[in-house]
Amino acid sequence: MNSHWLRGMIRPAAGTAVGDGPIVKLGGSLLTRASWPEDVGALILSYAAPVVVVGGGPIVDGLRRIDAARPRPTALMHTLAIDAMRLTARIVGDALGLAIVPTIDPGATGPRILDAAAWLDSHPAASSIPLGWEVTSDSIAAAIAGAAGRDLLLVKSLPPPCSGDALAALAAAGWVDGYFPVAATAVTTIGWAAPA
């Protein structure tokens, strides 16, 4: 078990702390590590009242390969990728004993997992998120954090390849998706964590 995490800031706090816990975007690729429940559980519990958005990981990677082999309609593939996020959220919720919730309740305590598909179906901010492979769970989590007025923590398999508030450089390097610099506009504080 490796419960040690490298941590850093991409966009440091602007001086005011967010009262509620952060939106924790959990990269789906982390779910292929044998010790992920212990590692991820320890990280999540180190924050007060986090709301976890789980990426689609290998399931979405498979959808990308299918689409590359024989392209399907963009809206269909986007919807299927969102469905994959619901599947991985269920896996994480089951493993960590966390509730899956359809919306963000500002008064809720303790960690919980957001059903990103339900949020996207019901929140007005979701209408500004474009469809397509240039939008991943990174941008969806950033849009959720911005709409909720919360900090964002990107939990990924690898640390960022560059430092500072260089969202365009991170997108160009493929560490976040191409839409992320736009999606993260309203997010004041963006941090990251990766296994040590």
CA–CA dist 33, 24 (Å, integer): 18
> The pTM is what?
0.93
CA–CA dist 114, 20 (Å, integer): 15
For the chain, 196 residues long, give each residue's pLDDT as a single digit of tens: 456 889 899 888 765 444 579 999 999 999 999 999 999 999 998 888 899 999 999 999 999 999 999 999 999 999 999 999 999 999 999 999 999 999 998 888 899 999 999 999 999 989 999 999 999 999 999 999 999 999 999 999 999 987 656 899 999 999 999 999 999 999 999 999 999 8
Q: Where are the domains of the chain?
A: 50-180
